[in-house]
Amino acid sequence: VCQGARPGGPGSSANSIWLPATSLAPLIADAGELKALAQRHWREQERRSAVEAANARCASCRLDIPPKQLVYALPENGPGGGSLALTKLAEVVSYEGWGREYKVAMKAPSTGFATLPAERCQPVFWASEDPALDADVVGQRHAQAESSHEAAQKLQAGLAGIHMGLLVGQLVLARPRSGGAPGDAREYTDEEARQFEQDHGVPPPR
């Protein structure tokens, strides 16, 4: 879509509209202007090819996406399970590694802020000047976060039975007491148990 004035945005007017780039033909005055336009066109075409490659390369990189990176905010049932109209564009504000959640600023078609689980944030590089370099950063951060999470799971497994002398400020997972009131504990489905262990690094309380 052409980068012109958008209705309701800066520099817009009542007569401004958005059009696909393929529906526009530039008007030029001389050969020099034609050469400059052609060079810009080919540079942008090369950049878009690099963007598409970066998007495909990082499609599954969902952890520790850096702030200001654009992402698709996917619908709850995933990119293949719902209407494409439900996919929204957002910008990462911050990442919370323990809960694997992002705070994002919505860009289009809605605005405002939202908190989304990592599996619903897919990095995209449409605004990137160097898509390959930015994809390197996203891929490296994801790999490091994944390794850290696996290491934390192994450490957590070794903490079984260790619950006394905890320091003030130590994060803990509160389990229901043995013989507690009815309703303190709950049964988890296999899918819920897997999700709980993925989110918290330990099996759910039984």
What pLDDT was estimated at residue 188? 74
Task: Please state, rounded to an integer, the average pLDDT across all residues of the chain.
Answer: 81
What pLDDT was estimated at residue 4? 44
Q: Confidence class of residue 45 from pLDDT cuts 50, 70 and 90? A: very high
Dist CA 50 CA 44 (whole Å) = 10
Dist CA 142 CA 123 (whole Å) = 11
What is the tens place of the pLDDT at every residue in 79-129? 544 444 568 999 999 999 988 999 999 998 888 999 999 999 999 999 999
> Which positions ≥6 away from 54 have C-beta within 8 Å?
125, 128, 131, 132, 134, 135
Dist CA 23 CA 81 (whole Å) = 31
Dist CA 195 CA 182 (whole Å) = 24
What pLDDT was estimated at residue 42? 92
What pLDDT was estimated at residue 169? 82
What pLDDT was estimated at residue 138? 98
The answer on pLDDT for 189 being more than 50 is yes
**Main-chain phi, psi angles of 18, to 5 degrees:** -100, 135
Q: How many CA atoms lie within 13 A of 203 on its CB side?
A: 9
pTM of the model: 0.63
Rg (CA), the chain: 24
CB 147 within 8 A of CB 64: no
Domains and CATH numbers, the chain: 31-149 (2.30.30.30)
What pLDDT was estimated at residue 175? 65
Q: Three-state DSSP class for 93?
A: strand
